[in-house]
Amino acid sequence: MSRQNFHTHTRLCKHASGWIDDYCQAALAQKVSVLGFSDHTPFPDGRWFGVRMSLEELPEYAAAIRQAKTAYPGLAVLGGMECEHVPEYLDFFRDTLLGQFELDYLAGTLHSYQYRGKWTALYGSAITDDQLAAYADQVAAAINSGLYAFIAHPDLFGVSLRGWSPAAEACSRTIVEAAVAGQVPLEINAYGLRKKTIADGDGCRHQYPLRRFWEIAAEYGRLLVVANSDAHAPEDVWGNTDDAMNLARELHLHVVNDALAAHLTASSTH
């Protein structure tokens, strides 16, 4: 089976290591055929600057990806961004990232969500039922925007979830049903498999992928799924992605990495 990874970070995000060339060389060594870079997007207002590049670094990022597309003929290199779904910046995503800088795709995500008029981080205190509903609605809005090639780690709420509840199930179904309706793939994210497990109920589990979420997802036959490494170091270009693929196979989920690669490479800007 061919290997494609559409979720790769660089040192510019301040919590990853390595540069474009480092990941391309590692991808070739790990027999990855399609490598998509999706570092965290900068924002014009500088928000969340501690975990993303500055706007001034965006040209360097885009130029390095363009250069890599020709420098590594044995590798299909794609340029993208992982975008927090901030509604007031959708025009920036469309006009600047996809337009001016000619990136190939965007990945949608929510590490923080709006709750009672404030942006609330998923990493922190336990998430409440109301917060789960707010998160789910905003992920659904990201899906419905039509901007994103896939939604990264839609089950990220697992990092602050303790136990399972009707609200957690409702949150999962809201997200999955929106993805099915919009035919936007949801990502099984292998980075969570490289993180510390957390105590939950009678045992330990991964922060994400959240198995209960994917068991619910498996009930929807038309759901599209991608499996990505979410590499934060060159050695992890394919790190644990086989495990993510195995989870998808176990649950009979429809993995579309090949189809997404074909679509993005066909429309890629060289």
Q: What pLDDT is attached to residue 269?
A: 61
pLDDT of 203 reads 82
Binned average pLDDT, 10 residues per bin, the chain of 270 residues: 94 98 98 98 96 98 98 97 98 98 98 96 92 98 98 97 95 98 98 94 89 98 97 98 98 98 87
Across 201-234, b (16+ Cβ under 10 Å) vs e yields eeeebbbbbbebbbebbbeeeebbbbbbbbbbbb
Q: How many CB atoms lie within 10 A of CB 133?
A: 15
CA distances from residue 193 to 198, 247, 264 in whole angstroms, order as listed: 11, 11, 26
For the chain, domain boundaries:
4-266
Looking at residue 232, its pLDDT comes to 98
pLDDT at 134: 98
- pLDDT (0 to 100) of residue 125: 83
pLDDT number for residue 32: 98
Bridge partners, residue 79, by sequence:
37
Where do the DSSP E strands lie in the chain?
Answer: 4-5, 34-40, 76-84, 105-109, 112-115, 118-121, 150-151, 186-189, 198-200, 203-205, 224-228, 254-255
Beta bridge partners of 254: 224
CATH tag, 4-266: 3.20.20.140
Q: Can you give the pLDDT at residue 202? A: 67
The predicted structure's pLDDT at residue 62: 98
Please give the Cα distance from 263 to 259 (Å, whole number): 6
